[in-house]
Amino acid sequence: MSLLEIHEPGETPLPHAGEASLAVGIDLGTTNSVVAIARDGSPAALHDEAGRALVPSVVAYPEAGGVLVGEEARLVMVREPRNAVASIKRLMGRGAADLQAVAGVLPYEVEPGSGQTDMVKLRIGGKARSPVEISAEILKALRGRAEAALDKPVERAVITVPAYFDDAARTATRDAARVAGLEVLRLVNEPTAAALAYGLDKGSEGIYAVYDLGGGTFDFSLLRLEKGVFQVLATGGDAALGGDDFDRAIAERLLDERRRDGIAERIDEAAVKSALALARQMKEQLSERDQTSGRLELAGTPSFHTLARSEFEAMIAGHVARTLDIARNVLADAATAAAAVQGVVLVGGSTRVPLVRTEVAGLIGKPALTDIDPDEVVALGAALQAEALTGGGDTLLLDVTPLSLGLETMGGIVEKVVPRNTPIPVQLAQEFTTYQDGQTAMAIHVVQGEREMVADCRSLARFELSGIPAMTAGAARIRVAFAVDADGLLTVSAEERTTGVAQRVEVKPSYGLSHDDMADMLYDSLDNAEADMTRRLLTEARVEARRSLLALEAALALDGGLLAPEERATLDAGRDRLETAIAGEDRDEINAAAEALEALSKPFAERRMDRGIREALAGLSVGELESRVGE
């Protein structure tokens, strides 16, 4: 019996015709997530019973036990802030070094000692959990929602990631999907998915821009749409800039105002979370009106606050200006004038902020496209791509690497091997040489980023190429090859070429999960499956044992006279033992008792058979004899 089949990535067998499970599109967002499905080229977001498409990307591990995702988790977050986590996407694939940049800002408790060599872990609900595990819970919830809405198993998905996500974060996203039991057909960049949602519906052609300001990330991309081809020309962004920053600006003001009003209090996690919740509410209201007010109650002390839209706009002007800087650089990267852009698609809830809309329209010189809900547009595009990949659609997505990939060379300088905005998949190689006479090993340090110095870039992996034959400095030819696949995932290999002694080392990013971590998580996620399996085996054992008890009873009723009283007593003891075992929960005991009873009843069975043979000799037909023996 094969319960679970685990395949190497890329070696999943073909689904049997007719039983292919459905493939969905998932926008795994920082603040909210959405799952959608496309049928015959028309996508729809899947709603819960209350009609909501957005699932807050919040995971809670409440005191009461279990795991909650979405609205329910958000409620837990207010009651038990230490048992819930939001915005986990910001930590996908991140290590300790990255965390320093956001230290004191994130309301998370980081597991001490974690993230030195691997991905950071958080202490939530009294247990260390990785961003992959937490994200997997969100994906499981989305998968569950899809299965409930479609009434079919859902095992495959296109998942979107910010274009600006680096290799480690992409790997982490793929890992999370695996833990959630989803095969990732393709990781698609969010802006590409958004354009897909617009382009396919409207058959647009020309150059389009996608301005995506979500809760925690910002991306700006330029795409060319032409006869079903989506060509990403250039993309850029900031993985730590978004609507959460707007909330934080308001929340800081709220807490400042309380201080100014003379409220002396210790600002703890719960206070920050409450202030952020009110801040978000006020921000959303300011998209509709010029002025808003709110009441914040912390530790029983209420305070009242008002905020004008103009004040809010002054608070976030710096953030918005930064997004425009990035946009201008992307335009320059693609050698495209803003005026040549036919339209700009707005993605992400934060694009509802009026200041954002006017500034973006000002940059491009035309009003932004907003006909598709900016919260759903990415998931809808992902769903279309999922359908295209499974059903053989005609759309072609030509994506690029968002960030340059390179190697550390002498003096901590970065040598770029794959420049940013290179179309993927890509295989590029560069040759390096030894620095010292007789050098037999070379440390290879893979980095990602645009800066010249290694220290300013992100470290992805380190490995050593050893076994280089000793020769004079500069004579060895080390060829380092970078391969980025269509998902934007990187593999690096190195070999020495002069001597024909070729060594290859494949590396995966150091912030990705180690094999053991991955295995642990898979086993964790299999816990339930294992419990189901145990129950099933127990049931099977009981059924089997009851069947043999019934057979024995029938035989005793028929031929019980063949047994001496003490033999009968032993046999009855064996029957009692088996019946007690069946009433219990121990499958091994049931099986043992059944075997023991079979051994005890063996002489009885033999005597019955002898008697059967004697009866046959006394004139019974051969057919009757056989049927008796067979009993």
Partner 1 sequence: MDHFARLGLPAALDLDAAALDRAYFAAQRQWHPDRFVARPPEERARASTEAAALNDAYRVLKDPIARAVYLAGLQGVEMPSDGKTIDDPDLLMEAMEAREALHEAASPEAVDALAARSRDDMTAALAGLGTLFLRGDRAAIRKTLLRLRYLDKFAEEARGRRTNLQREKA
Binding residues for partner 1, rule: CB under 8 A, are 10-11, 14-15, 185-186, 226-227, 229, 231, 318, 321, 325, 328-329, 332, 388-390, 396-398, 415, 422-428, 483, 485-486
Q: Taking the complex as a whole, how short is the minimal distance between the CB of residue 347 and partner 1, in angstroms?
A: 22
Nearer to partner 1 by Cβ, of 22 and 541: the residue is: 22
Cα separation, 389 vs 372, in Å, equals: 23
Q: Taking the complex as a whole, how short is the minimal distance between the CB of residue 329 and partner 1, in angstroms?
A: 6
Nearer to partner 1 by Cβ, of 332 and 609: the residue is: 332
Give yes or no for a contact between 479 and 494, defined as CB atoms under 8 angstroms apart.
yes
Nearer to partner 1 by Cβ, of 84 and 457: the residue is: 457
Give yes or no for a contact between 55 and 396, defined as CB atoms under 8 angstroms apart.
no
Nearer to partner 1 by Cβ, of 58 and 225: the residue is: 225
Identify the three-state secondary structure at position 328.
Answer: helix
Nearer to partner 1 by Cβ, of 231 and 370: the residue is: 231
Give yes or no for a contact between 85 and 107, defined as CB atoms under 8 angstroms apart.
no
Catalytic member of 137, 166, 212, 219? 212
283 is catalytic: no
Helix axes 354-364, 309-333, angle to 10 degrees: 30
Q: Taking the complex as a whole, how short is the minimal distance between the CB of residue 318 and partner 1, in angstroms?
A: 8
Q: Taking the complex as a whole, how short is the minimal distance between the CB of residue 592 and partner 1, in angstroms?
A: 46
DSSP single-letter state for residue 511: T
Q: Taking the complex as a whole, how short is the minimal distance between the CB of residue 118 and partner 1, in angstroms?
A: 28
Give yes or no for a contact between 84 and 96, defined as CB atoms under 8 angstroms apart.
no
Q: Is 11 exposed, middle or buried (0-12, 13-18, 19+ CB in 10 A)?
A: exposed
Which is it for strands 58-60 and 343-347: parallel, antiparallel or unpaired?
unpaired
Q: Taking the complex as a whole, how short is the minimal distance between the CB of residue 121 and partner 1, in angstroms?
A: 33
β-pair partners for 347: 212
Residue type, 255: L
Residue 381 CB contacts under 8 Å (≥ 6 apart), including other chains: 25, 43, 160, 188, 192, 193, 194, 195, 196, 197, 198
Cα separation, 69 vs 271, in Å, equals: 22
Nearer to partner 1 by Cβ, of 420 and 575: the residue is: 420
Question: CB atoms < 10 A from the CB of 317, how many?
Answer: 12
Closest by Cα among 185, 216, 252, 270 to 10 = 185
Closest by Cα among 528, 534, 536, 535 to 180 = 528
Q: DSSP string spanning 373-385?
A: -TTTHHHHHHHHH
Tell me what percent of the chain is helix, strand and coil, each rounded to the nearest 5: 45, 25, 30
Nearer to partner 1 by Cβ, of 12 and 306: the residue is: 12
Closest by Cα among 600, 625, 626 to 614 = 625
Give yes or no for a contact between 114 and 131, defined as CB atoms under 8 angstroms apart.
no
27 is catalytic: yes
Rounded to 5°, the CA angle 352-357-362 comes to 175
Radius of gyration of the chain (CA): 32
Cα separation, 68 vs 65, in Å, equals: 9
Residue type, 227: K
Nearer to partner 1 by Cβ, of 282 and 424: the residue is: 424
Q: Taking the complex as a whole, how short is the minimal distance between the CB of residue 72 and partner 1, in angstroms?
A: 35
Q: Taking the complex as a whole, how short is the minimal distance between the CB of residue 227 and partner 1, in angstroms?
A: 8
Q: DSSP string spanning 394-413?
A: S-EEE-B-SS-EEEEEGGGE
Nearer to partner 1 by Cβ, of 228 and 294: the residue is: 228
Closest by Cα among 209, 219, 184, 238 to 488 = 184
Catalytic member of 133, 166, 167, 190? 190
Nearer to partner 1 by Cβ, of 315 and 562: the residue is: 315
Q: Taking the complex as a whole, how short is the minimal distance between the CB of residue 413 and partner 1, in angstroms?
A: 9
Q: Taking the complex as a whole, how short is the minimal distance between the CB of residue 321 and partner 1, in angstroms?
A: 5
Cα separation, 539 vs 533, in Å, equals: 10
Q: Which residues are catalytic?
A: 27, 89, 190, 212
